[in-house]
A and B are shown apart, each in its own frame.
Chain A
């Protein structure tokens, strides 16, 4: 899933303070799972903002909605008839949802209520960690199912570097060295000899480096 974290409320107040009526729009997908922008967080943020503006003696109407998804036309369309009532929308979806909202409702200011962080997993409740950077050409088959691009601080395809100490990364002793994990798993799979195969220079054109990307499937396109 896409993992996001809440923006500091001070930053949100600064974004919306000049409006009179705003809509806080949550998303029922990834940001709900990572507890940053689902229905519950929409409610908490709305209450906090109402209290803040009331204390400031400022009139501010705040409505709440949580859409099934903000990355699909179908669900965003649910706001078609009501969005014009608002001076602005504060979207608690990931950056994808915020942008799709802005594209669709061109005349309504849209602000992000969360910081979109990465694609990752829930290791345990309250702990989300990165697993994928969407490089567009998956090499997990060569690295024992552990991604050095997203999990090595230097994204080394032929690691580990000399900074790997007791299984941890040189930049943070709480961070696993991705190459230690790869080697441990290669050993477990009895495939440690594969470590000596040099992974060739990567074609990064399928990654961010190649410019904004799209996937077009003619077979399913309507």
Chain B
């Protein structure tokens, strides 16, 4: 794989070092500090920060504006973009808007169905799907053209990512689906939160059998549990999530006041184990409304300090 964009994340992955990304959810209001404070907490511990796009279909400050706030702080953002709310005109337009601020990473997603959010009576768009959004960004970047065929003046230079959920059903098409995203042009993958390590390792093994780990950088997704209640909730209520019973038991087996620390321990152990998994190119730490714990997780996992600009330019 050769570097195709100015993305720092891409350079770090290309250098063979394990990358670390995290994410911040924008606020339900217009105070930029809600973003900048979270970002400030973790900026030295990660290579790029994803900004979620109206996650769980709850209306929030937009991903693009939040990414611009990060960019103005000198932090590398990853623009998450769902196809639920925008048609191809709006998607291309927002991609150009992001490119005008030199936002160099994008994560192409379907988006949760609107029924989970605060506007369950709203329309959804789904003009294109996440697979086709990957194709769209690659087309705009590599061919320098709009979907309509016209030339783009100063095309976007974006490192193109997507999500993969090794735990959704049916399992047998999980690797073919990854292959399909690779064929569509995806360059990095951030996975769903991993708690079932055996199943993840099986998925990676099947991905390696097809050589996919050499065609796409896979960042393993982790989310620390804050409590046994959260573990149970994720197990039972979140679609596409696989939390084994023993993990829930482990969380429930320690006193309530020690559960947050146990959650961090599990997260660090997960990273330590997956560092050894061939094809894992880095970690995506999703500490949901618990960003202050990201530094501890990164340090304890031996992923600190992050590479400096000089180190990756070598």
Contact = CB atoms under 8 A, between A and B. Distances in A.
Interface of A: 153-167, 170-171, 177, 180, 183, 192, 195-196, 198, 200-202, 204
Among B112, B136, B179, find the residue whose CB has the most chain A CB atoms closer than 10 A: B112
B170 A162 contact: no
Contacts of A192: 173, 176
A198 B126 contact: no
B3 interface: no
A158 B131 contact: yes
B180 A196 contact: yes
A162 B163 contact: yes
Contact of A165 (B111, B126, B239): B239
B93 interface: no
Interface of B: 84, 88, 110-113, 115-116, 124, 126-132, 135-136, 147, 163, 165, 168-170, 172-173, 176-177, 179-180, 183-184, 192, 239-240
Contact of A156 (B126, B136, B169, B184): B126
Given A162-B192, A201-B132, A154 B84 contact: yes
A201 B147 contact: yes
A154 B113 contact: yes
Among B170, B176, B180, find the residue whose CB has the most chain A CB atoms closer than 10 A: B170
B180 A198 contact: yes
A204 B127 contact: yes
A160 B183 contact: no
A190 to B, nearest CB: 14
Given A183-B172, A201-B88, 20 more contacts: A154-B110, A156-B126, A158-B130, A161-B130, A162-B165, A162-B239, A163-B113, A164-B168, A166-B169, A170-B113, A183-B170, A183-B173, A192-B173, A195-B176, A196-B176, A196-B180, A198-B131, A200-B132, A201-B132, A201-B147
B170 A198 contact: no
A183 B171 CA distance: 11
B164 to A, nearest CB: 8
B129 A163 contact: no
